[in-house]
Amino acid sequence: MADGRATELWDLIGGAVQDVEVWCNACGHHGVVATRGLIDRFGSHHLVGAVAARCRCRRCGSKDLDSRPDWRDRGPGVVTRHTPDEDRG
Ligand SMILES: [Zn+2]
């Protein structure tokens, strides 16, 4: 289903993207939600792509929504500041 590692809300904190974009497949309505607010509601390990399943379109009431990190303002030059702390042993 997902290609590569799924992005969690926590991954956005401290990264280049601070918001999650949610849009409606039924009517095209979309909005941007602050990641910190989502963490307060769902927890830091909630998947970004799963946020949509918890939302409903304010315009048409559809639950056919998608969500992703809001890259729009950042451009293609993604700076990865995440440094995995490998297990030692
Ligand atoms: Zn809609």
> From ligand 1's centre to the CA of 23, what distance in Å?
8
The pair of structure tokens assigned to 12 is: 């956005």
Higher pLDDT: 80 or 41? It is: 41
Give the whole-number percent of the chain exceeding pLDDT 90. 64
> From ligand 1's centre to the CA of 54, what distance in Å?
14
| pLDDT confidence bin for 87, thresholds 50/70/90 | low
How high is the pLDDT of residue 48? 96
- Domains observed in the chain: 9-69 (2.20.28.10)
Distance, in Å, from the CA atom of 6 to the CA atom of 19, rounded to the nearest integer, reads 16
pLDDT in tens, 13-25: 877 778 999 999 9
> From ligand 1's centre to the CA of 36, what distance in Å?
24
pTM score: 0.71
21 and 67 Cβ atoms separated by less than 8 Å: yes
| pLDDT confidence bin for 60, thresholds 50/70/90 | very high
